[in-house]
Amino acid sequence: MSKESKSPSALVMKFGGTSVGSPKAIEHITEIVRKCRQEWDRMIIVTSAMAGVTNLLVESAERAIVGDEVFISKAEIELQNKHYSIVEKLVPSSAERAQLKQEIKHLSMEFANLCRAISILGEATPRALDAVVSLGERFSVRLLAGILKSAGFPAQFVEATNIVVTDDCFQAAHPNLEETAKNVQNILIPMLMQKQIPVLTGFIGATKEGITTTLGRGGGDYSAAIIGAALPADEVWIWTDVSGVMTADPRIVEDARTIPELNYREMAELSYFGAKVLHPKAVRPVVEVGIPVRICNTFKPEDEGTRVTKNNEVAPKIKNGARGIVKAVTAIQDQRLITVEGRGMLGVPGVAARTFGAVAATGTSVPLITQASSEQSISFSVPNESAEAVLDSLHIAFATELARRDIDRVWATDEVAIITAVGNGLQHTPGVAGQIFSALGSADVNILAIAQGSSKVAISLIVTAKDTEKAIHTLHQFITG
């Protein structure tokens, strides 16, 4: 294809809270945009709230419920000053500074009014919470767009409430991708054709009626993926404060290193089982259209980071060890393993449904499930803080069966951790699971339960809390050889 007929390249970049959390961090963004502007025809930026702002907004809404007006007043001033200080340092024009400060002041007054309304009602509905929490991104998008504009870029802030259409499930809204794509074509594409740089609020959207919603945990990354898929973009880059996805938690494993490339399934498993760099649902929109995602470090932009693609290349078979087969080891800590067991469960339909119905009634998420082939027990993990509520719910659900001894007992272990080894080569390499279990056995790590997902790129193990770090270090040897 000739250069003249080639479609313009498009890049979506999302900057996280730490990336917009200080004047120095935003100066890094300015340089990143300057460099990318030379290499990409079209660029869209998605921004999170400044680090710490979302937590302050959530706490303010909680304090408003009990009528803590002193806290709200202090929070209003803190929000203003946090953003004013960056404007003062990075916007040289007095007229542009005044304009930005006026917009920040207007939003801080909106914050105070929302909190006072919550205080009068004495409760904060999910809809009200979304209205308050969304302010963090609304502050940030004006700040970042204003600073980029001051630096000479044709940046223009855009409220994602005008782009991302969602349902009315406040706090964890689900996007309507078809309607969102229409808005992208009608609003963002014309801006890009005029060589503008749209700067969008991440994390938020709106219902068809225009009511503000939020996309839940990982919503900023999700926003970037949604916009990337709707364009469609050539790539989506997630800028954060780490140089990509690591082979293990560097706080536990000192020699952990960046993984150069992952496929979508590996990334999804890593995200689900504890790697907090990218939320699992953030991958979804780009998977269907095959857009690569790159995870980069704002503070070390020269690092390559991690590239996530649809590539399913099989890792080479290795006779001694699993180097190249296992790519990363993750851990979900502060869990407890709950077991429902009894000889009367054998062949009885509906036991699993009733078990997880009882768990769902408590609003608890279950990250891992395993069942004995004899059907005499079901085990699953839940967060430590939810264990007692889940046990109570199960005892109520199976009161009759417990009384008849069809179910012998419902019980929970002490604190445990889910250790997960992830790598595409796991599904193609005979004997690697045996090597993993042998290595853990040699390290005196007792495995309480095992589970493997249908993707077959991950094996998860339950170990006691005291064995967590030992298990991680042992499995990390499979990566480093």
Annotated binding residue 205: no
Whether 430 shows a pLDDT value over 90: the answer reads no
Band of pLDDT at residue 374, cut at 50, 70 and 90: low
Domain boundaries, the chain: 10-241, 328-480
> Could you tell me whether strands 212-214 and 197-201 are parallel, antiparallel, or unpaired per DSSP bridges?
unpaired
> Could you tell me whether strands 447-452 and 155-158 are parallel, antiparallel, or unpaired per DSSP bridges?
unpaired
Annotated binding residue 158: no
Phi, psi angle pair for 64, to nearest 5°: -65, -35
Domain 328-480, CATH = 3.30.2130.10
Whole-prediction pTM value?
0.86
Whether 81 shows a pLDDT value over 90: the answer reads yes
| 228 CA to centre of own chain | 16
Average pLDDT over residues 367-396: 89
Q: Where are the alpha helices (DSSP H) in 242-328?
A: 264-272, 280-289
Whether 372 shows a pLDDT value over 80: the answer reads no
Annotated binding residue 277: yes
Q: Exposure pattern of 147-157 as b/e (b: 16+ CB <10 Å)? A: bbbbbebebeb
Contact 454, 436 (CB under 8 A): no
d(CA 402, CA 406): 6
Q: Where are the alpha helices (DSSP H) in 322-366?
A: 351-360
Q: What local confidence, expressed as pLDDT, does residue 423 receive? A: 86
What is the CATH class of 10-241?
A: alpha beta
Whether 314 shows a pLDDT value over 90: the answer reads no
Annotated binding residue 15: yes
Please calculate the CA angle 199-129-176 and round it to the nearest 5 degrees.
55
Whether 318 shows a pLDDT value over 90: the answer reads no
Q: What local confidence, expressed as pLDDT, does residue 102 receive? A: 97
Q: Which residue has the higher pLDDT, 265 or 208?
A: 208
Band of pLDDT at residue 281, cut at 50, 70 and 90: confident
Equal fold, 10-241 vs 328-480: no
Whether 287 shows a pLDDT value over 90: the answer reads no
Whether 162 shows a pLDDT value over 70: the answer reads yes
Roughly what angle, to the nearest 10 degrees, separates helices 264-272 and 280-289? Answer: 170
Band of pLDDT at residue 481, cut at 50, 70 and 90: low
d(CA 165, CA 186): 13
Whether 340 shows a pLDDT value over 80: the answer reads yes
Give the three-class secondary structure for 187. helix
Contact 402, 343 (CB under 8 A): no
Question: Which amino acid is residue 236, in one-letter code?
Answer: V
Choice among 70-79, 170-179, 373-382 with the minimum mean pLDDT: 373-382
DSSP assignment of 59-111, as one string? HHHHHHHTT-HHHHHHHHHHHHHHHHHHHHHH---HHHHHHHHHHHHHHHHHH
Whether 219 shows a pLDDT value over 50: the answer reads yes
Average pLDDT in the chain: 90
Q: What local confidence, expressed as pLDDT, does residue 6 receive? A: 58
d(CA 242, CA 198): 25
Q: What local confidence, expressed as pLDDT, does residue 274 receive? A: 63
Q: What local confidence, expressed as pLDDT, does residue 321 receive? A: 42
Whether 1 shows a pLDDT value over 80: the answer reads no
Annotated binding residue 276: yes
Whether 320 shows a pLDDT value over 60: the answer reads no
What percentage of residues in the chain have a pLDDT greater than 90? 70
Average pLDDT over residues 363-383: 85
Give the three-class secondary structure for 234. coil
Q: What local confidence, expressed as pLDDT, does residue 347 receive? A: 67
Whether 352 shows a pLDDT value over 60: the answer reads yes
Whether 316 shows a pLDDT value over 60: the answer reads no
Average pLDDT over residues 252-279: 82
